Structure 1
Amino acid sequence: MAAAAAAGLWRAEAPLGRGSSAAVYRARCLGDPRAPPAALKAFLPPARGEEEAEAEGGGGYGFRKERAALEELRGHRSIVTLYGMFTDYPSAQGPLCCLLLELLDISVSELLAHSSLHGCSMWITQHCARDVLEGLAFLHHRGYVHADLKPRNILWSAEEEGFKLIDFGLSFKEGIQDVKYIQTDGYRAPEAEVQNRLSKAGVQGGTECTSAIDLWSLGIVLLEMFSGMKLKHTVQSQEWRANSSAIIEHIFASKSVVNSAIPAYHLRDLLKSMLREDPQERATAAKALCSPFFSIPFAPHIEDLVMLPTPVLRLLNILSDTSLQNEEEFADIVDDIREECCKYGRVVSLFVPKENPGKGHVFVEYANAADSKAAQRALTGKSFDGKFVVATFYPLSAYKRGYLYQTML
């Protein structure tokens, strides 16, 4: 598949995912090899009647809906960027409506798979909570409801060093709900569950869902990140409906949860406020951002710095104390490291602290995250002066401030 969009000819290179109404591909600009890759979302032609296709957000209707939402919500750092749109004409399938989007990295769903049983670190949970709440506060202020917030729809941006919301195919303007079936099983708010059942039974009317459904979904996502457990069956149980607060208390008090050793009472209270049964009593995104949980400083774990790409690499196991003390040897080694690192992209800066914290670590800032990812793949495990290199990413914001984390568990 190749098509013109965003002032260039783009070609789909590899599939990234597929849903009931669209397929997503990694795309490359043929006219400019230096241009960063993008995500191409191709909406599949509806195979059923127009009414059913529209009810499920499929086909051309889904394209128009998502395009309108992304155009109106363009510019916020926690919402995926829309580059352009076009129509492609493959010979067999008929016309495909396509969106050209910012290409993001690992999803929260993948992070959960890595942290199964022990949960995500508090640093990454806090980072995700803040970024998504800021995005929700923005889109709710604009009158939008996302209506399908789940781990697969929250992705990490390596360039902007934050989490972003994607997939606005089920979104709607509050008070003008034009989609019958909303949210994904396991992340569906109680009022949305009732509405979906009424729709399936052909019953019209009832209370329309509000932005409060997004807070419920995020509350479940964050509870899964903290606990390391999938909670679909838990939130659908009679016990949850009878006393969800007690179940949340139990999860936070559980000795099987590593994070319980960290004072996480503020997170527990925040999640309780987001998971209240009555949507009118649920915290708004703006109010949730005022939680004391966001005033607690957390440091990333080493696993976080391996999984979340940034433009900065941190190289370990290269310099010995002897090398740090010998100025001539130190200068020669740093020159060799710089030369090696330049093979994978443009190096903006290179820094080696001679004192703790970070003593002997090599910090390499690349011009973009794509170069740092290429370097991380090539340098990890590489032998340098008889030592095997360990390469992780490092937060660009912390590096720019000259802040080096004291400990990485």
Structure 2
Amino acid sequence: MACSSGSNAKMSSPNVSTPVMAVTPDAVDQKTSPAVFEIFGKIWNVQARLGQGVSASVYRVSSGRASSAVKEFQVDAQGGDYGYLKESSVLEKIQGHKNIVTLYGMFTNHNPFGVATHCLLLELLDDVKYIQTDGYRAPEAELQNSLAQAGLESDSGCTTAVDLWSLGIILLEMFSGIKLKETVKSQEWKDNSSAIVDHIFSSNAVVYPAIPVFHLRDLIKSMLHNDPKLRSTAEAALINPFFSIPFAPHIEDLVLLPTPVLRLLNVIDDNHLYNEDEYEDIIEDMKEECQKYGTVVSLLIPKENPGKGQVFVEYANAGDSKEAQRLLTGRTFDGKFVVTTFYPLSAYKRGYLYQTVQ
């Protein structure tokens, strides 16, 4: 391939380029931009570093009136060049596509430290200033894009936190079933995005009864902090309970499979939950009644969803729970007919409460 400077010299193949020297990452300060690149005997001056990644840096370079971009792949401790070979190979195969950057050629750069690095000479795309896709763009990326358009530089660059923001929006769209591009641009979102997320979840909780929605809601909120320093990391997101709990079982499964935990439905009105005296009286009444059928280990009545107003009774064994289920089903409590199902002990022990699929 011919160099973009107009030279007739051909670029060297990666198979015959000078081998990369094996050095430790600390041997060279790879954050320092080179002043020039010598490409087949011609000097290209480095005008600016356009981007810095884990495996490579990209520079704007010029030689006379010609301007291009150079992507310099970093040297690792083993002298590996997989990324360079892979990228150059792919770009060579798809040359000529209108939506793919043009690869002018490949060369080996020898820096003043005696280290050889593989480089790609690429088409310079001066319209390339936007970070992230519109509608999934984190606030700090939006700011950096605005500054770039004005020819200014941001004091603090974007980090991997922008990816967590994008993932948060994607998860919210998957749950709501609607595109949120205009929503995230609105002033209401900027003023109180958390309230909008709450509204979306309260509107769709019944539609997705098998999903532990409060865990998903909290996960998404943690990804959508405006301050990237407060935003959830990928490591923290992966240990969120949403990814470790099973989806809700079908109601028939809970009826037919005895477990030590019994769930009582259609027992308590919501208004009883907010009067502390009445709430404590109900707890004591339920314990007294349930202890007639076996040893009660614990009893829980959540005051909010999931499980709001339901009674979870943990017996010492499944036999006691099964006997209680037989004798309590159909009984009346405060004028209501009691409905009972079993509940997974593992989920109850870990505090996972969810609605069941009807």
Q: Identify the TM-score tier after normalising by the shorter chain.
A: 0.3 to 0.5
Judging by fraction of residues, say which structure has more helix.
1
TM score, norm. by length of structure 1 = 0.33
Larger radius of gyration: 2
